[in-house]
Copies of this chain bind each other. A is one copy, B any other.
Amino acid sequence: MADGVAVHAAADALIEHLGADMVLVGDDVERYCRDWHGDVTTGALAVIRPRSTADVSAAVTAVASLGLSIVPQGGNTGLVLGATPDQPLAQVVLSLERMTAVRRIDVDDFSAVVEAGCILSEFKDKVEAAGLFFPLALGAQGSCRIGGNVSTNAGGINVLRYGMMRELVLGLEVVLPDGTVFEGLSTLRKDNRGVDLKQLFIGAEGTLGIVTAVAVKLLPPVEQVATALVGLASLSDAIALYRRARRDCCDLLSAFEFMPPVAFTLAREAMPDLAMPISGDYPAYVLMEIGGSGLVDIEDLMQRFLEGVMEEELVLDGVIASSKAQSRNLWLFREGMNEGQAKRGAHLRTDLSVPLSRLAEFVDQSEAAVMKALPDCLCVSYGHVGDGNVHLNVLPPAGLPRAELDAFLYKAKSVINDVLDTFGGSISAEHGIGRLKKADFLARIPDVQAGLLSAVKHAIDPKLMMNPGCQLNFTAD
């Protein structure tokens, strides 16, 4: 498949099988072949854009008959190169972007069925209009698509209360590598008929099949929200505050985000007009949110909680948003700090988890090791610390030439991963493996797990045509 003539012939054959409406070739494929950060640009033999599950099935069959492979793609907002080809001349991207229907919202069942290509925020809006709530909340929610959320088992800011995407899925419709359709769109809340096959496709990053529709749990609407930003003496105190909040707030805590002081600097680099929400400088900050419906007075709960922890001096200072606008302003800092990092250019992004009880120790040790190895760097550690999840990012000094920059990023990652390994941590708390983390993943996976993954892959995708190169390298057994 390496030469141009064969590539053209294969693209022509796809158009012949599937019709010109479904297949993009040439320059039109470019926008499907750049990753979210714009760090990597690749290519694809074609992009297939089905409008229905039957189209996906036909596409899989056609691609298989040509000996090509498929890279499934949702919103292409993933952070680990799971949805962009690594063999542009032998791979087609299959984009779900035309399958956007919300098939149904069952208010009385607290459930919905939605096609894989529906954009997360559009789905959430429709659910809200129906009087319910879908809790998955990500920075990329205006662009990511719900099928990608399933395939990457997306996390985000509400995981500590509502779980990852896996815990929100009731059923799946999946086109398998042989073109048949796994019809599992049940909305039953409890269904315990043996091995739960749908679990295999959640987090599989399209390596076992193509998710075409999803049945999800919905929740009562969040009628009251209380958001607070507090200053503390240390990350360790922030974790103590989390443990305290889980008990005192009766498991109604829906977000608990740690930020270092530099968050404010970074946020204001991206959003210069942002008003400082809290006076005084503290070594650590937490943005926390409690939410609920009905008869519990959420704002009163937050007030009493903060009074208690301030009296004990666990929290040094704090503000509670008393309006939606104020709450939005607090969250802007959290979002702005990401934009500020992006504005400073390429840097190491990580997505690590360790046991909660050792998170502070891990961040201290990692930052010290990075600072020692790379004295000119800036460490920015923040994230969903209630889950033991931290994004320990490392920014290089400005103006490094490309080769030095690459060496810097590699060194920073290696130093952090070495510390991480001594804590029994995960190199991917929520982002997945894709192609970006594959080498680090494979270097750490025990032989028994690798053998099982390979056995499952060969059993379900014997031609190894579904997103090869993602998660695992397959060789003959």
Chain-B contact segment, one of A89-97, A259-267, A333-341, A349-357: A349-357
Contact flags (1/0) for A287-328 with B, using CB distance below 8 Å?
Answer: 000001111100001001100100000000000000000000
Q: Kindly list chain B residues whose C-beta atoms are within 8 Å of the C-beta of A196.
A: 153, 166, 199, 202-203
A443 in contact (CB, < 8 A): no
Contact with A247, one of B251, B293, B305 (Cβ below 8 angstroms): B293
Q: Is the CB of A387 within 8 A of B460?
A: no
- Cα separation A264 to B209 with both chains bound (whole Å): 51
Q: Kindly list chain B residues whose C-beta atoms are within 8 Å of the C-beta of A459.
A: 455-456, 458-459
Contact flags (1/0) for A138-159 with B, using CB distance below 8 Å?
Answer: 0000000000000011010001
For this complex, into which size category does the number of interface residues on chain A fall? 35 or more
Contact with A195, one of B164, B188, B194, B200 (Cβ below 8 angstroms): B200
Contact flags (1/0) for A97-131 with B, using CB distance below 8 Å?
Answer: 00000000010111100000000000000000000
CB distance from A92 to the nearest CB of B (A): 22
Q: Is the CB of B220 within 8 A of A428?
A: no
Q: Kindly list chain B residues whose C-beta atoms are within 8 Å of the C-beta of A280.
A: none
Contact flags (1/0) for A204-239 with B, using CB distance below 8 Å?
Answer: 110110000000000111000000000000000000
Q: Kindly list chain B residues whose C-beta atoms are within 8 Å of the C-beta of A184.
A: 449
* A292 in contact with B251 given A428-B192, A448-B182, A455-B460 (CB within 8 Å): yes
Q: Is the CB of B293 within 8 A of A190?
A: no
CB nearest to A155 among chain B residues: B190
Contact with A205, one of B182, B194, B219, B293 (Cβ below 8 angstroms): B194
CB nearest to A354 among chain B residues: B188
Q: Is the CB of B163 within 8 A of A167?
A: yes
Copies in the complex: 2
A243 in contact (CB, < 8 A): yes
Q: Is the CB of A357 within 8 A of B251?
A: no
* A449 in contact with B243 given A193-B441, A200-B200, A432-B192 (CB within 8 Å): no
Chain-B contact segment, one of A5-13, A66-74, A270-278, A419-427: A419-427
Q: Is the CB of B295 within 8 A of A389?
A: no
- Cα separation A205 to B181 with both chains bound (whole Å): 26
* A449 in contact with B197 given A247-B294, A249-B295 (CB within 8 Å): yes
Q: Kindly list chain B residues whose C-beta atoms are within 8 Å of the C-beta of A219.
A: 251
Q: Kindly list chain B residues whose C-beta atoms are within 8 Å of the C-beta of A207.
A: 194-195
CB nearest to A292 among chain B residues: B250
* A426 in contact with B193 given A181-B448, A448-B176 (CB within 8 Å): yes
A-B contact pairs, 6 of them (CB 8 A): A111-B355, A192-B426, A194-B471, A251-B252, A252-B252, A295-B305
